[in-house]
Structure 1
Amino acid sequence: MSSKQSDLVQWIEIPKLGDDRGSLVALEGNKIVPFDIERVYYIFGTKPGVARGFHAHKALKQVAICITGKCKMLLDNGIEKAEVWLDSPAKGILINHLVWHEMHEFSTDCVLLVLASEHYDESDYIREYSDFITRVNT
């Protein structure tokens, strides 16, 4: 696993707004998020020891933000791999197309918010790692 932060790991800093009453973040497409937001979903209630993801997308881009709790994200572009912790509601990670990603070690209170550049399309998924490696190396 590479521990250096390369182009594979692209953090999105999310400005915190607010005052003594608390914090607020605003996620705007093509401003904070580097694409139009077409779909929003979140993962929560993940059982201990369960991992998620295990796929890449042909075209879809995503930003993942752990709005509470934490999880470990593995990113793999077919050349290098990196593991990072998502553990802040004010920091997201950009998952570009053709990046294999996996989420591990979810805390019991983890809520992982994902902003996607496209609507759900099963044909955009690459679900077999060997198919992913073949695609990125052609």
Structure 2
Amino acid sequence: MSQPSVFDCSVIYLPRIHNRAGNITPIHNSREIPFDVRRIFYLYDIPGGESRGAHAHRRCHQFLVAVSGCFEVLLDDGHTQRLVMLNRPYMGLHIPPGMWASEVNFSSGSVCLVLASELYDEHDYIRNYDDFKSFRTPA
């Protein structure tokens, strides 16, 4: 099985239902996003310009949405880096397992919604970049 590259991380535009009283964006398991959601969390009250993340997952897929404000996601597959801007609540970024990701350059008041394919499991996290590089290197 080959490891994903930064180009396997895809920006997905979500459906928008327009209404004069405001819009709604529905998200369904394995429909708008390519996995079933088992955990939802969000990051907020992040000081402007700060960073979060800086880790990879062994098994967990993640889908990030800037539901308010904006931030960038720095993706790294061990060889190539790619920077993706998230600044609309109807677009999200799918990050497959085996990808180092850091959320950077948060605007003030940003909220990052994260939909994850797995329940929290500390053993799924790779938090050290050298360990990540070893994980990415075929045995």
TM-score bracket for the superposition, by shorter chain length: over 0.9
Residue aligning to 1:19: 19
8 A Cα contact 1:8 1:82, kept in partner: no
The share of aligned pairs that are identical, in percent, is 34
Q: How does 1:74-93 map to 2 (within 5 A)?
A: 74-93=74-93
In structure 1, distance between residues paired with 2:22 and 2:130: 46
Does 1:97 pair with 2:97? yes
* Maintained 8 Å contact 2:49/2:107: no
Post-superposition offset of 1:21: 1.7
Partner of 1:110: 110
Q: Tell me the C-alpha RMSD between the 2 structures.
A: 1.1
Q: Contact between 1:40 and 1:115, CA under 8 Å: does it hold in 2?
A: yes
**Structure 2 length as normaliser, TM-score?**
0.91
How many Å apart are 1:49 and its aligned residue?
3.7
TM-score, normalised to structure 1's length? 0.92
Structure 2 residue 55 is matched with structure 1 residue 55? yes
- Measured after TM superposition, the shift of residue 126 of structure 1 is 0.3
Q: Structure 1 counterpart of 2:125, which letter?
A: Y
Aligned residue pairs: how many?
A: 133
Separation in 2 of the partners of 1:76 and 1:94? 14
Gaps of 5+ in 2: 1-5
Give 1:94 shift.
Answer: 0.4
Structure 1 runs of 4+ with >6 Å offset: none
> Does 1:35 find its partner at 2:35?
yes
Provide the residue aligned with 2:135 in structure 1. 135
Equivalent residue letter for 2:41: Y
